[in-house]
Homo-oligomer: A and B are copies of this chain.
Amino acid sequence: MKKSKSREISRPTAERLTEYLLILEQHLSCGNETISSKELSDVFGNTPSQVRQDLFQLENTGRIRHGYNVKTLTMAIRNRLGLGNITNLAIIGCGKLGSAIAEHVPFSVYGIKLAGIFDNHKSIIGKKVGGIMVENVKDLEKSLRKRKISIATLCVPPSAAQEVADKLVSAGGVRGILNYTQKRLKVPDNIVVRDRQIVCSFMQLAFFSNQGV
């Protein structure tokens, strides 16, 4: 019986779990005690059976007759995603996007510590953004090692993306990169890269709103 609970989670399932978590936390903050798989599925346009299949991979989901206990399920997802462990993050590029992310994304709630911000513009180096001081990107590799940074996000111009990615790799320790640039990165197989091209979300929105889906 335990077999299904201990196996690795697929990428799409893990992605959906993070989304379920945010919905659950909104329900928690509204004081709702239970939630149905239908309510969770509605938000993404997937099916209640997909939701149940995703949640079946967790320990102690708080499943009840017509749904789930919100608090128990929230804890189950947080545990499965390992949010109790702290992961140190660096933001490279402190322009508008980088500083918006530093200032507005609630990292600490989800086990992530913003441990470094880097830029190459003198006008911003030394200033505080998102509570920490912006450092010169020349010191990137040294600082990454010193602070045990394991994930990084690239908010630099596309022309600088590969060069920065190479430094992230050579520093050692960085295992994941969230790439907001238009540039596809070449990195060794043991580094996880996720491309986040904002324009995709807009294309999808235009498509569905034109279809009336």
Binding site for B on A (CB under 8 A): 8, 11-12, 14-15, 18-19, 21-23, 26, 43-46, 81-83, 85, 87, 89, 95-97, 99-101, 103-107, 109-112, 150-151, 153, 175-178, 182, 184, 190, 192, 194-213
When chains A and B are docked, how far (Å) is the Cα of A12 from the Cα of B178? 21
Contact in complex: B196, A201 (CB < 8 Å): yes
Return chain B residues, CB-CB under 8 Å to A11.
Answer: 44-45, 204, 208, 213
- Which residues from chain B contact A206 at a C-beta distance below 8 Å? 82, 87, 89, 110-112, 150-151, 176
A-B contact pairs, 23 of them (CB 8 A): A8-B211, A11-B204, A11-B213, A12-B46, A18-B207, A19-B197, A22-B182, A26-B184, A81-B207, A85-B210, A89-B202, A96-B100, A105-B198, A106-B199, A110-B199, A110-B202, A110-B206, A150-B210, A153-B202, A176-B205, A178-B202, A192-B208, A192-B209
